[in-house]
Chain A
């Protein structure tokens, strides 16, 4: 899948890509096998092949860092499709939008079919150890919010793991409006207990928790966990719609993993 796009090469747009496909170049190996047939001038061909070669090497080495940066966001669905079962889905809750004056309260992650939760003043920094074991991080709006927020919060120059943003993958497939809207569009329903909870409420829950309300703490954690599980499910459902038949657990089974006490 990943090697079936040429849009990451400089100067190659949809038109050129179509042309290449018509000429029978369906993947990177095809170009490398028959370079003389490429419809480019010599200098352009040299540039093109260099990028193709680098991409192939990266693919063979599973260098996701290279691939996530050089493939345009529109083609990131390929990376998601290729590595869906190995990806680590995560979501964070915070006390505000700016990492300059807010901090992280809960991080939840779905990794290798297990649900992990990291809580403020308990084990929040352990998330970084999970990141060390991850091959690919996936979050909804992660590139704009979660990743920079965590980098600032943990005072690290970079999160240290390749990452893709589900929001833009959805966007390019025609799904817009935020995670909860997309959930509904894909037929997903959240558990009743946290159905109405949103980002603003998450801040209020934290404040109640800090004032001694342990019920608020539980609710906040369940909310975060639900968010990450729906992130995973919607991603899987999208891929199914695109024709990939990955087995997915049911929503009920997944939501059962969330904390009860």
Chain B
């Protein structure tokens, strides 16, 4: 390990931006509780456990006192024991068997658990009273589980669509004996998904009330900034919170690395990708048999990095494996076993591994790009250094603003309080999807415990007025013949998947939005190290046909969107800028794709995409720049207005998510036209939730716009580039279709300057005229430009013309 450190210190000397040593932490232990059942005592001793960590003991005591308990931990050490010791103890001592609901966020994870409980649950497993109930459970198994299970493993989607609608017939017995609800990884339930899950729990507790059971909640969470408020918002209960982790931790070293800047003919300055560091690092670690995990941001990145690292080396191919959520449970388990037993030394993973079981002690953790939240950063970094050996964490920044900010301000990770988890169960769009489900489960009463009367009463009125519910005695019964739960997808705007066929075999599946963006005709799709080209994407039939290909490029789609504020709720003025918050209608369509050569990231061509648009209503705000600023810009060069707006749009898109613990895909920004007066349009910046109905993300930014703008300003100021780069504001931000604007931006520092000017206006109210200079490219070029692709150029021209026509048409319609 020391040799690897030398390697890092010498090879990447220029890239190390920061280094921090995390001190070792001594363990805090406690004895077994006296009331522990002898069978459990025996089993623990058999496993070599003679003491409990302090937090495990605290959990035992809290749960034994019937308190709703939340375990917050960076590393989830000994979580299983913390839950199950008190539950099993009571189970073995009880006169009549009670039931326990075990909830895991995904089907894959819940499938893992049954085998993991292993030794401890053998006392229960012998009686056959443990079952996993999810979409994969075979029909006859389901009947057995419904009749005889005491311990039920499932996930929120199954609880919502499978168990709750059948509470009165098939699950009555289980629910009437329900004593504990165990929820793992509770920090995941935030944003729109969290709001949905919160409503599922409202329905569950209502149904428990109907069957006269009063379960206790036991939850585990990764670190969040507001654990108490989060679980209160999720479950509407007060919890006893255990946050002190009693497990010992060895010393850990943390490196913050920034890949070097490079230049390429015809393009502005760019920063190399994290692969420039991770590839040599992973290879060196493998050579020294250092057990490693590398976290990437996407499935495709995992595949690409794996291919690049192992390219040409049979031994590396044996040692390093990719790991991601799409794998089957037995595939995942085999990989985990191989890693634990040393048959493989490194795993490259998406954040799927952030969740899930212990995979032994790893020594090196590489983070390729910021996982999005400080909490996930620590969860991933926490994968190493669990036993006594010291460990190393290497974080490599990507070329986007927030990563670049992080690598220049490591304190953001080590000192800033962790982000808050937000959700809103009363989000009207989400609540209104669950109320019919509630009615279907049991007629709605005048007052429903656990529901806020102000919201419930109004929602009930809506259902009454469209005759979704009709009066029945002194309640309201669900009057339709369908299954409302079927039409509600907890995880997003679509409730089905597109299946990917190669020949007759289904090799994967993807949601319809993701499919539009990655499986259009001629797209290159990567799966388990192999490349395929999409022959056809049929959204109606919900399938995509692919065929294996051998090419050296990948594809990226470019979307075009249209935005409109349909109703304004609130307005505020910021140094003369008008910010309007309200309901937004959005329509987006992928129009063309780029072919990008692997490794060099050269753009080698374009192609069209013909797919139907994807549209939805949401909430968000628009920002019209101050009139004074615009006047000043118009006098100087009116293209600066557009440049500033696009630049700010890019910056906001990359900074906002971390401020509200949303994923980057949950918030969107764009620049579009607003009709300010009859026949008169102006450009404005829009920010809105990329989730149907809106969940409050853009709303939060609207409320805290000053803080957000401050963060954007700091990113811009502290960036080391001279004329803009993808890390702060690129010289040519994506999404610009205007040739005149492009001419201003290309090969100049206009993007940064105009953005800075707009930011200064919004923050201080002072007008700065942008100092625009053209950027001369240095003579030493490190990359050879490819021969101009005339076919591609012609295609691009045609598409630009088409885009202009569409834009004019849009303006006409407005």
Binding site for B on A (CB under 8 A): 103, 125, 128, 132, 153-157, 160
B residues less than 8 Å from A157 (CB atoms):
168, 210, 442-443
Flag whether B206 is at the interface (Cβ < 8 A): no
Please tell me if the beta carbons of A160 and B473 are within 8 angstroms of each other in the complex: yes
Please tell me if the beta carbons of A153 and B470 are within 8 angstroms of each other in the complex: no
Question: Interface size on B (CB < 8 Å)?
Answer: 13
Please tell me if the beta carbons of B477 and A153 are within 8 angstroms of each other in the complex: no
Partner of A103, one of B168, B439, B442, B481: B481
The digit string for B457-484, where 1 denotes a CB below 8 A from any CB of A, is 0000000000000101100011101000
Binding site for A on B (CB under 8 A): 168, 210, 439-440, 442-443, 470, 472-473, 477-479, 481
CB distance from A233 to the nearest CB of B (A): 32
Please tell me if the beta carbons of A125 and B481 are within 8 angstroms of each other in the complex: no
B residues less than 8 Å from A160 (CB atoms):
473
Partner of B439, one of A125, A128, A132, A155: A155
**Could you list 22 examples of A-B contacts with CB < 8 Å?**
A103-B481, A125-B470, A125-B479, A128-B472, A132-B473, A153-B481, A154-B472, A154-B477, A155-B439, A155-B440, A155-B443, A155-B477, A155-B478, A155-B479, A156-B443, A156-B472, A156-B477, A157-B168, A157-B210, A157-B442, A157-B443, A160-B473
Candidate in B439, B470, B472 with the most chain A CB atoms within 10 angstroms: B472
Candidate in B210, B473, B481 with the most chain A CB atoms within 10 angstroms: B481
Alpha-carbon distance A118/B472, docked complex (angstroms):
17
Alpha-carbon distance A12/B806, docked complex (angstroms):
86
B residues less than 8 Å from A156 (CB atoms):
443, 472, 477
Alpha-carbon distance A103/B478, docked complex (angstroms):
14
Alpha-carbon distance A103/B482, docked complex (angstroms):
10
Candidate in A103, A132, A155, A156 with the most chain B CB atoms within 10 angstroms: A155
CB distance from A182 to the nearest CB of B (A): 30
A residues less than 8 Å from B440 (CB atoms):
155
Minimal Cβ-Cβ distance residue in B for A102: B481
Alpha-carbon distance A103/B481, docked complex (angstroms):
7
Additional A-B contact list (14), CB under 8 Å, known A156-B477, A157-B443, A160-B473: A125-B470, A125-B479, A128-B472, A132-B473, A153-B481, A154-B472, A154-B477, A155-B443, A155-B477, A155-B479, A156-B443, A156-B472, A157-B168, A157-B442
Alpha-carbon distance A153/B479, docked complex (angstroms):
9
CB distance from B466 to the nearest CB of A (A): 16
CB distance from B298 to the nearest CB of A (A): 39
Alpha-carbon distance A171/B703, docked complex (angstroms):
73
Minimal Cβ-Cβ distance residue in A for B441: A155
B residues less than 8 Å from A125 (CB atoms):
470, 479
Alpha-carbon distance A154/B440, docked complex (angstroms):
9
CB distance from B280 to the nearest CB of A (A): 59
Alpha-carbon distance A89/B168, docked complex (angstroms):
26
B residues less than 8 Å from A153 (CB atoms):
481
Alpha-carbon distance A108/B439, docked complex (angstroms):
27
B residues less than 8 Å from A154 (CB atoms):
472, 477
CB distance from A156 to the nearest CB of B (A): 6
A residues less than 8 Å from B439 (CB atoms):
155
Alpha-carbon distance A155/B473, docked complex (angstroms):
13
B residues less than 8 Å from A155 (CB atoms):
439-440, 443, 477-479
CB distance from A89 to the nearest CB of B (A): 23
Minimal Cβ-Cβ distance residue in B for A158: B168
B residues less than 8 Å from A132 (CB atoms):
473
Alpha-carbon distance A153/B440, docked complex (angstroms):
10
Alpha-carbon distance A154/B439, docked complex (angstroms):
11
Minimal Cβ-Cβ distance residue in B for A148: B169
Alpha-carbon distance A156/B439, docked complex (angstroms):
9
B residues less than 8 Å from A103 (CB atoms):
481
A-B residue pairs, 7 tightest by C-beta: A155-B478, A103-B481, A155-B477, A155-B440, A156-B477, A157-B442, A157-B168
A residues less than 8 Å from B481 (CB atoms):
103, 153
A residues less than 8 Å from B168 (CB atoms):
157
A residues less than 8 Å from B442 (CB atoms):
157
Alpha-carbon distance A154/B481, docked complex (angstroms):
8
Alpha-carbon distance A132/B473, docked complex (angstroms):
9
Alpha-carbon distance A51/B742, docked complex (angstroms):
91
A residues less than 8 Å from B473 (CB atoms):
132, 160
A residues less than 8 Å from B478 (CB atoms):
155
Minimal Cβ-Cβ distance residue in B for A155: B478
CB distance from B123 to the nearest CB of A (A): 35
Alpha-carbon distance A128/B479, docked complex (angstroms):
12
CB distance from A12 to the nearest CB of B (A): 27
Alpha-carbon distance A108/B58, docked complex (angstroms):
63
Minimal Cβ-Cβ distance residue in A for B481: A103
Alpha-carbon distance A125/B473, docked complex (angstroms):
13
Alpha-carbon distance A128/B478, docked complex (angstroms):
14
CB distance from B464 to the nearest CB of A (A): 14
CB distance from B62 to the nearest CB of A (A): 35
CB distance from A130 to the nearest CB of B (A): 13
Candidate in A103, A128, A153 with the most chain B CB atoms within 10 angstroms: A128
Alpha-carbon distance A155/B484, docked complex (angstroms):
12
CB distance from B475 to the nearest CB of A (A): 9
Alpha-carbon distance A16/B25, docked complex (angstroms):
76
Minimal Cβ-Cβ distance residue in A for B470: A125
CB distance from B477 to the nearest CB of A (A): 5
Candidate in A103, A132, A153, A156 with the most chain B CB atoms within 10 angstroms: A156
Alpha-carbon distance A128/B440, docked complex (angstroms):
17
A residues less than 8 Å from B472 (CB atoms):
128, 154, 156
Alpha-carbon distance A153/B443, docked complex (angstroms):
13
